[in-house]
Amino acid sequence: MTICLDHQMLALLTQFITFAGYVLILMLSYFKKAQVRKMNGADVAWVLVSAGLVWLMVPGLALFYGGLAETRTTVNTLAMVMIAIAVGGVVWFTVGYSLAFSGSGHIIGNLDAAFLHNVSMTKSTRGLGISDGLFALFQGMFPMITMAIIAGSVVGRMNFKAFILFLTAWMLLVYVPLAHMIWGGGILAQHGALDFAGGDVVHISSGVSGLVLALMIGKRRVNTDTSGNNLLATVIGGGLLWFGWFGFNAGSALAADGVAIVAFTNTNIAAAFAMLTWVILDFILFKRVRISGAISGGVAGLVVITPAAGFVQPASAMIMGIIVAIGAYFATTVIKYRLGYDDTLDAFGLHGVGGVIGGILTGVFASKPLAGTSVSWQLMGTQLGAILVTIVLVVVLTFIIAKVVNLITPLRVDEAVEEDGLDYDLHGEVNA
């Protein structure tokens, strides 16, 4: 009887220990989750600053483009860039963020977080040191600068009303699905595509869209050479772009950590080497240095490192800057004129070409400690596949959107308006 009782007690004790173990595991799991979800002050401060830096890139681009545009289309250029802030802000808040980062679809998300519904400003469901609200805020700055880039291909001849309609539809049908597929857990992310801060999502999409629009609208009737009307504005704008890009790339680490430091360092290295390479090419080919060219070279370096900023070592960033300068230089000074397309301010030559080169070289130079993977044929295939998907999606949808918009209002301004300059006729203002 005693032996039987001892067995019963042992069985009860075993069950109690098992139960207590489960409770302990659940408690540890809970506290671990709570700790992950608790905001980190340094991360919050850095990502807030980075969001502001990315926003600053839009007026920076306005100055950069505005200084290069013809005097009689300066106001129109500024307006086409700055309107991206309004369109991007409205679409992102209403449905853009939700469709990009909610749900588990392969191509698009859902509307669970429309109007930022149930998006917490104090906790993270993504295991980050920043809240979901701050994540949404930071990501919402990217479509603004993306759409602003497109303007560079068509300023001086596109109807402003048509441009607003185009941007609204383009953001919903092109940018948002790309953001979901690459950053929101969609099909390209599932296949392992690497895009740290927007090679596919931002630069290839905007550059290729600009080229498609430019081809559909046609060349400018009056002037096909933009030498610049205010290089001081171009330099200030280029400087603001470079400055803002530190938030663009390093902020994409979403934390104040070593990855952010690597991304920040790589951003400056790639831009510096690209600028110097561009200057050397100018010296060799034209025996002179154009400040507009030097700034363009820096921008090309910033573009190429965007998809790779947190994935490659600094020495690789150096090589990427040199390669993109050569590629973008010939795209903007030779190929554009040989093929005869009017990419007014080289949105395609700098961002489209630079983005493609950056996406490919990300696969070439990916560092396993940083990217979690190393160079392989599979990775190269994934990178090339993501670039191809991006280009096909952008070309097809840009063409369709532009055709539909043209049914509502003409894509191109009247000939007389274009010859006189768009500033006063479309905006009632001139750049004195």
pLDDT per position as a tens digit, 94-142: 999 999 999 999 999 999 999 999 999 999 999 999 999 999 999 999 9
pTM for the full predicted model: 0.90
- CA 57, 155, 289, 301 torsion: positive or negative? positive
Within 10 angstroms of residue 399's Cβ, the number of other Cβ atoms is 15
So what's the pLDDT on residue 31?
42
Look over the chain and give the mean of its residue pLDDT values, rounded to a whole number.
92
Q: How confident is the model at residue 431 (pLDDT cuts 50, 70, 90)?
A: confident
For tokens 């090589």, what's the residue?
319
pLDDT > 60? residue 230: yes
How many percent of the chain have pLDDT more than 90? 83
Q: How far apart are CA 102 and CA 97, in angstroms?
A: 8
The hierarchical CATH code for the domain 42-426 is 1.10.3430.10
As given in the structure block, the two tokens for residue 252 are: 């994409």
At residue 198's C-alpha, the angle toward residues 78 and 216, to 5°, is: 55
Query: Higher-confidence residue: 261 or 227?
Result: 261
Mean pLDDT, range 48-66, rounded to an integer: 98
Residue 414, φ and ψ in degrees, nearest 5: -65, 155
Question: Taking Cα atoms as reference points, which of 52, 111, 160 lies closest to residue 410?
Answer: 160
Q: Are 396 and 208 in contact (CB under 8 A)?
A: no
Query: Higher-confidence residue: 221 or 366?
Result: 366
Mean pLDDT, range 136-158, rounded to an integer: 97
Residue 142, φ and ψ in degrees, nearest 5: -70, -45
pLDDT > 90? residue 155: yes
